[in-house]
Amino acid sequence: IIIVGAMLTSLVIAREYENGTMETIVSLPVGAIEFWAGKAIPYFFIALIDMLAAILMGQLLFGVVMKSSFWLMIVASAVYIGVALSIGLLISVKTKSQLVANQMAILLTYLPSLMLSDFVFPRENMPLVLRWLSNVVPATYYIDILNGLYLRHLGLAQLWSSFAVLLAMFAFLSLLNIH
């Protein structure tokens, strides 16, 4: 999800700057929210389809069955995709170069999500500094939700704190993008 969400969207606005079409877009009667949404919505649906395909393949090929609510998984994934899109668009706006945007997206999203989020290495075994740093990685909270939904049969009552952090990250990053 982070690859589609952050890495692909990090190239979207940077491409406009490199092609010289950003001046034309700025002159259009489109507000920041409409512009941001127009750039993010296609990638949102691509990432959502990827996530649904991964769930289906996990069930069909590997027999991995979700123990909790499918709809809670959809909501969690939608919020996480929103966070990933917001990070990607923010990188794209700040870098204005596709090469730099791609490298920044890898360094700021993909690698921390892979290494610091409890996906590969348990957070309990990390040094205190890395454990603290993992608290700002959105994938940490998404993986916590996935563990609760897939392995422990938890609901929103038990997972609300991870949802709240992801929603707060989405709101904060969206505000940064719009301004």
With b meaning 16 or more CB within 10 Å and e meaning fewer, what string describes 58-76? eeeeeeeebebeeebbeeb
Say which amino acid occupies 68: S
pLDDT tens, residue order, the chain (179 aa): 888 888 888 888 888 888 888 778 778 888 878 888 888 899 999 999 999 999 999 999 998 888 888 999 999 999 999 999 999 989 988 888 888 988 998 888 888 888 888 888 888 888 999 999 999 999 999 999 999 999 899 999 999 999 999 999 999 999 998 87
pLDDT for 167: 97
Residue 87 CA to residue 104 CA, distance in Å, equals 10
pLDDT for 25: 79
DSSP single-letter state for residue 68: S
Residue 41 CA to residue 151 CA, distance in Å, equals 31
**How many DSSP H helices and E strands does the chain contain?**
10, 0
Contacts of range 49-52, beta carbons closer than 8 Å, 24 or more positions apart: 50/1, 50/4, 51/1, 51/77, 51/81
Work out whether the CA dihedral 4, 6, 123, 172 comes out positive or negative.
Answer: negative
Give the tokens for residue 8.
């692909």
**What would the DSSP string read from start to end of 84-150?**
HHHHHHHHHHHH--HHHHHHHHIIIIIHHHHHSSSSSS-GGGS-HHHHHHGGG-HHHHHHHHHHHHH
